[in-house]
């Protein structure tokens, strides 16, 4: 996700369904309290600078 891959690309690489990727992404976003991939990048960059 952090490399900018789409759900379809992630599913292909992991050999799982696109729907499974979407569910995992939804759960991760919920746990982090975010709503978008750009917010995920922001959290990642903040962690790198800490």
Q: Using one digit for the tens of pLDDT, what is the confidence trace for 1-50?
A: 778 899 999 999 999 999 999 999 999 999 999 999 889 989 999 999 97
CA distance 38 to 14: 22
Distances (CA, A) of 42 to 10, 35, 47: 20, 12, 9
Maximal CA-CA distance, the chain:
35
């Amino acid at each position: 996700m952090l490399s900018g891959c789409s759900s379809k690309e992630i599913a292909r690489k992991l050999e799982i369904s696109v729907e499974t990727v979407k569910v995992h992404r939804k759960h991760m976003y919920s746990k982090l309290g975010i709503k978008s991939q750009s917010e995920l990048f922001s959290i990642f960059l903040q962690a790198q600078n800490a």
